[in-house]
Amino acid sequence: MEELAWEESLIGNGTHPELHYIHSELSRRKNKRLELAKRKCEFEVSNVTKKRRIDESSVWQTWKVQRDQLQTDIIAETNRKRRKLERERRAADRPQPVRRVPLPPDPRFSYSLPPPPTLRQVVDSFPLPNESNILTRHQDSTRFNVPKTRPHVNGVNGVNGTGAKRSRLNGIAPAHPPLGLGSLTSLVAYPELSTLSSAEVQGDLERLLIGARRSGMSNQGPPLPVGMGVDRMGNIPGPINVLVSMINIPHTVFP
């Protein structure tokens, strides 16, 4: 009991050793935490100050660049306007040239203009392809593709009944001398239509008749009574009979 009373008196007086130790430990931890908090605050303040300084420097740099650009543009525009005003002033100060009125033509000399070209001359000169270079290029392009004679049609070649070759080649026939304004050739690219000779027509019909005889009578219709455009065999006239009936029809020759 005496020991408990003694410890109680030490605690009441504030001189207990354990109480001193606990107070000193709490004070030390408090001081350490305050120091750490102070250092943290200082670091944060320095960081914020650094960021602010960087941002301010960036803003000032941008402002300086824009200022220099605006100054350059204003100076360039001022110089351009000044040069324009100088050019206008020089043009205004420059004396106007004297306008010379041409003298009237001398009546002693006769001035005659050439007659205007005719419609045929205009057509022969432009834009129809009757120039020499166009015709030469056309003949070169068809040299290896188009034969010099008319191709075989049902056994009829490019030689007419008299044995003479046709004078036309690829739709180009000799025509009248050139009448255009430019340097034209003696060939004209006008399309001309012509018919076959009698010998060629006869040969083609003979070929068609031979082919019809070989194929037989399978393409004929059923037998019908004689009359009303029906032949004596009682069949409808076929294309061969129509061609045979057209032999005696005169052929029209287009100019």
Considering the domain architecture, whether residues 141 and 169 belong to the same structural domain is answered as yes
In one letter, which amino acid is 84?
K
Q: Do the Cβ atoms of 191 and 235 come closer than 8 Å? A: no
Whether 53 is in a domain gets the answer: yes
* Position 1 confidence tier, pLDDT thresholds 50, 70, 90: confident
Number of domains composing the chain: 3
Q: How far apart are CA 224 and CA 234, in angstroms?
A: 5
Classify the C-alpha dihedral 234-236-240-245 as positive or negative: positive
Considering the domain architecture, whether residues 141 and 203 belong to the same structural domain is answered as no
State CA 146 to chain mean position distance. 33
Whether 255 is in a domain gets the answer: no
Considering the domain architecture, whether residues 8 and 83 belong to the same structural domain is answered as yes
Q: Give strand pairing partners of 156.
A: 153
Considering the domain architecture, whether residues 172 and 201 belong to the same structural domain is answered as no
Residue 146, pLDDT score: 45
Average pLDDT value for the chain: 71
Considering the domain architecture, whether residues 122 and 67 belong to the same structural domain is answered as no
Whether 48 is in a domain gets the answer: yes
Question: Range of 145's domain?
Answer: 118-191
**CA 27 → CA 21, 30, 70, 109, distances in Å?**
10, 5, 64, 133
pTM of the predicted model, to two decimals? 0.28
- Token pair belonging to 199: 């010998």
Place of tokens 């059923």: 222
Considering the domain architecture, whether residues 203 and 179 belong to the same structural domain is answered as no
* pLDDT for residue 52 is more than 90: yes
Whether 108 is in a domain gets the answer: no
Q: Of 34-48, 58-72, 74-88, 98-112, which gets the smallest average pLDDT?
A: 98-112
- Highest mean pLDDT among 56-60, 153-157, 211-215 belongs to 56-60
Whether 169 is in a domain gets the answer: yes
Considering the domain architecture, whether residues 22 and 60 belong to the same structural domain is answered as yes
CB count within 10 Å of CB 233 equals 12
Question: Which position has the higher pLDDT, 126 or 129?
Answer: 126
